[in-house]
Structure 1
Amino acid sequence: MILDGPTVATLTARLSEVDRRRAARYPGGRGGRQPVHTCYVPANQVGPRTPVQWGEQALRAFDEHGFDLGPDLAERVRAKLRTEPVEDLRIDFEDGYGAPDTEDEDAERAAGHLTRWHADGIAPFASGLRIKSFDTPALTRRGIRTLDIFLSALGEPPPGFVITFPKVTSAEQVSVFADLLEVVEQRAGWPLTFEIQVETTQAIVDADGMLAIPRLIAAGGPRVVGLHFGTYDYTAACGLGAGQQHLAHHACDFARHVMQVSAAGTGVRLSDGSSNVLPVGDTAAVLRAWQVHYGLVRRSLEHGFFQGWDLHPAQLVTRYAAVYGYYRESLAGDARRLATYAARADGGILDEPATAQALSASLLRAVDCGAATAEEVTQATGLHLDDLRAYHLR
């Protein structure tokens, strides 16, 4: 033997600290369900039936204007709009909010509505609020005050509660916000998490020319659970003209790729941005907006962004049409490949464990959102959902 045991042990011992840091920084994917979207509703427009009303408005738009879907897919979308139209809802006190003179009252009132939704059984799977940014001292104070009023009125946050922290420009802002939530947890006993909105150029590349997102995630620690892309602030910050400020622009692709690489393996989830082409007006205008939204949702899914923003109830039609179509088109092929991998059979494709993980994740997402049933997936794969989860978490 050329290499003796003591020599190897001495050299490899230097890797133990590297391994520890890597395991802490990259714990792997976050288990459990991820919503397919986040609906933003201005705080002064939130009411006692908002989640249900979004579904009702979406169904009316679908009935009035139609959308070219096959009968099976159309009925699945309708069923979703009747039973769970909103998966995640953010009560907005930032860009979408236009009543600063009544922000205290709106914060207390909106928190009461969120409590009522849960009591009435109509609450979305996930929910929360978006506060103002820390851009200026005045905005910082206002954002903190709104958060304090909202949380005080809400009491213990419900399951799936998350806070959106917008227009981040530095790791110090994230660190301060995480410390504020630590104070809340120490005093009230409520564990709180937040998502960082990536909508400034400084959130992509910092003043030192370094990728900023790894530092942002590190500054927030385990409280950071998501990165949400902000289409219009980001494209405007890049100097793009109004006609080029859209989600399919290559500038957005660059930002998304940075987000994707920076968050990979950290357990921090990604959400794409929105389309401001709203499905309103006559049928021709609604159909044009739906085609734009449908295409952008499909594009996001193909880029590995499985969540996005919705700004109008009628966008739920094309959100679920695109999401359901995407998962159902790949269902048979994904199931067959995973079944072949599980059986260690020769299926003509040599899949790696990482691919089996991706296949199981896709099938689980399909079940979570209602694109497929657990029975369909089990029948197609021969595997129980617990088996899929085991692959997904490896």
Structure 2
Amino acid sequence: MNRIGRMPIARMVAAAAATVALTVVSACGGSGSSGSGSNTGEYLIGASLALSGPSAVYGSNLGGGMQAYFDYVNKSGGVNGKQIKLSQADGGFDTATTIQSLTKLAQQKPIAIGGLIVSGATAGAVSTIDQLKIPVLIASPVASLNRPPASPYIFGAGGPVISDEAFMLSDFATANLIKGGSPRVLTVNHISTEGESFSENIKKIAADKGWTLVGDESYKVGTLNFDAQAAKIAAAKPDYIFMAPDTSGTTLIKALKAAGVTATILTSQGGPHEDQLADLDYPSIYVGREIRYPSGDAPAVKDYLDRVKASGGSVDPTSHVTQYGYLQAQIITEVLKKCGADCDSAKFLDTIKNIGTIDTQGFTAGPVTYSADTTQGLHTEVVYTWNANQKKVEPTPGTYNYPRRP
């Protein structure tokens, strides 16, 4: 996994791609599909989701988030006089199954496909996406695919690559926490290219700002016991800990608290979720998020909770993965509005590339933006903190941007 859990991307599985190459050619006819919508009473949208295997909970939540928003749109009269139909296919969490799900969906001629997250499976399917020529939204930054040049058919509906989080977090710290002097700073990352780049960026920033670097720790993804490392960090006596986001980070923070560490921790989405912050009850922690926590007061967040509940099923509305699915559906709907009643996949592609700004009404920290210069989508985060006195999560004032990528 990557953006969902912020783990490093696995290598592309070329052999798996070759296995289904004939299926791809058959599905796309060698020239792409115009997509359903121009001559029917509905818009067909596909979703390739991890509905089986160890990541099935992610797939069901992401698909549920998409369906919840489309249900709301359809009950409100649809788009351009048409209903939106979502067709789901199980992409598992491996390259071969992901490619099979994409080709299966392509045979139905959808206007666009969502549901994908960045992983080795998605990275291995990029060539297939290029052959199918159907616009695809992924719940992650396109740059995470590590595949230059970027595919013209893939659009990010997530935040930055991990290494870019360093710039946003340091900007926040400088504006709100570090008021001069030479604070003691320590970096923590999971062993991966992105995690290590995060720490390298923090070290460069620290040198530029005159901060004192007192440690640079790393760990293997999936580590369960951090007692020794927590003791080492405690001995370094940092004032601030910049932590690359990862699902193991919550376990590390528990170990740090047990070791008596009270340094301010700065991390981002992919780190502790809202309920985990309450469970940790760490005295000074800040988490950057491009999508607002579900407990927020923004009307768009309350609408989200109501719509997910109204959609039924066992979808977890507190899951950030459900939020990603909801956001993908929101983006697709806005593109369809501008694309028109006769929208097909080719017109959808042209529309999303030139749509400019999409206002999510406060569901995200900032607007979604696509243009000829960027397919990243989100470029802004809001930073949350745990109020240990009042025992609740609170947003800090303002928003913070990270570097735009193609």
Give me the TM-score of the superposition, normalised by structure 1.
0.28
Higher Rg of the two aligned structures: 1
Higher helix share: 1
With a CA cutoff of 8 Å and minimum separation of 6, indicate the structure with the bigger relative contact order: 2
Higher strand share: 2
